[in-house]
Amino acid sequence: MTIELDWENLGFNYMNLPLRYIAHYKGGKWNAGELTSDHQLHISESSPALHYGQQGFEGLKAYRTKEGTIQLFRPDQNALRLQKTARRLCMPEVPTEMFIDAVKQVVKANEDFVPPYGTGATLYLRPLLIGVGDIIGVRPAEEYLFTVFAMPVGSYFKGGLAPSSFVISRDYDRAAPLGTGGAKVGGNYAASLQAEVGAKKAGYADAIYLDPTTHTKIEEVGAANFFGITKEGEFITPLSPSILPSITKYSLLYLAEHRLGLKAQETDVLVTDLERFVEAGACGTAAVISPIGRIDDGDRTYIFHSETEVGPTVKRLYEELVGIQFGEVEAPEGWIVKI
């Protein structure tokens, strides 16, 4: 480790690392792709990604183990989700092998920036697929760029297991009923900015979005999925086509059932039923597991376990998930890819 950074206090911020991967799709195929030190993209001013939002992205992390090795958590799932996003926006798919190879190249090339074990920090990888070229009509691009860049990050919401408060967005939806909510595209995040800015101004960690059809069901917690633990010890997480299918959420569904012995299910989560949860959390790659201490909805307030302390089941899920990611707990088969 040659780099000196304040690893414990990184937050979630962009950093221009020495190398990133870039590949170009033209004439119906991907070129070989290469590492470059140039952190600027050189694209046509008319690129469909810029005007019409024809783009998609991913987020995954590289973890430093106690032994000093580096590993990825379920990168194949990110590759598959980017392929699904690509189909939704009429973009060419990045094959799984090419995706994982690009991620590995970027981690290796920036190895000194993979945070030391024990700091809680990780190397965040951002794969990005964009439609480029000289097109001004609304139609799919003929050329695309696929890039993967990286930066060391700490926590996205409050650090570690400190609970955060959220507010339900009653003025804005992030997704439409048959829209792109289930795909990882920039337009969903653009649509969420006003709610997020308002929530943060009011002192909340982020906004919670409801289903865009009936506005009665919980969908997303900012850029993370929701889960709750009932009095009966069930792990419940919302099911909806306009939610981003979180890889962390599916991992927790599995771990809750197979490692913690909880009944685990994806189903509707009505706002009016929030009282059934004795604990709740937000989960995602950036968010990891952030306990939800409080949710406000107009003049109604819901408290989950405590506003200052993590609950016992959320803590056990966190320890299981993070233990697997950092190589301390045995992973289900195929979840860990060594660099």
Contact residues for ligand COI (CB under 6 A)? 59, 223, 284-286
Would you count residue 247 as binding ligand PLP (CB under 6 A)?
Answer: yes
Q: Torsions phi, psi of 51, nearest 5?
A: -95, -40
Would you count residue 248 as binding ligand PLP (CB under 6 A)?
Answer: yes
Residues 149 and 106 sit within 8 Å (Cβ to Cβ):
yes
Would you count residue 59 as binding ligand PLP (CB under 6 A)?
Answer: yes
Applying CB under 6 A, which of residues 246, 290, 313, 325 lies at the interface with ligand PLP? 246
Would you count residue 285 as binding ligand PLP (CB under 6 A)?
Answer: yes
Q: How many residues bind ligand PLP (CB under 6 A)?
A: 12
Candidate list 61, 104, 184, 217, residue with the active-site label: 184
Query: Which residue, 135 or 282, is less far from ligand PLP as judged by CB?
Result: 282
DSSP code at position 275: G
274 binds, among ligand COI, ligand PLP, none (CB under 5 to 8 A by kind): none
Give the CB-nearest residue to ligand COI.
59
Would you count residue 224 as binding ligand PLP (CB under 6 A)?
Answer: yes
- Indicate the pairing of strand 206-210 with strand 164-168: parallel
247 binds, among ligand PLP, ligand COI, none (CB under 5 to 8 A by kind): ligand PLP
Residue 285, classified by CB atoms within 10 Å of its CB into exposed (0-12), middle (13-18) or buried (19+), is buried
Judge whether 249 counts as a catalytic residue. no
| Number of alpha carbons in the 13 Å side-chain half-sphere of residue 317 | 34
Name the H helices within 202-292: 247-258
Give the CB-nearest residue to ligand PLP.
284
CA-nearest of 289, 297, 227 to 264 is 227
Query: Which residue, 249 or 305, is less far from ligand COI as judged by CB?
Result: 249
Query: Which residue, 188 or 302, is less far from ligand COI as judged by CB?
Result: 188
Query: Which residue, 13 or 272, is less far from ligand COI as judged by CB?
Result: 13
Q: How would you label 63-102 residue by residue, b for 16+ Cβ within 10 Å and e otherwise?
A: bbeeeeebbbbbbbbbbbbbbebbeebebbbbebebbbeb
Residue linked to tokens 């633990």: 229
123 binds, among ligand COI, ligand PLP, none (CB under 5 to 8 A by kind): none
Residue 27 neighbours by CB under 8 Å, 6+ apart: none
- Other CB atoms within a 10 A radius of the CB of residue 263 amount to 12
Query: Which residue, 208 or 278, is less far from ligand COI as judged by CB?
Result: 208
Q: Please, what's the largest Cα pairwise distance for the chain?
A: 58
Would you count residue 179 as binding ligand PLP (CB under 6 A)?
Answer: no
Smallest gap from residue 177 Cβ to ligand COI (A): 22
- Give the active site residues: 184
Residue ranges in contact with ligand PLP by CB under 6 A: 59, 220, 223-225, 244, 246-249, 284-285
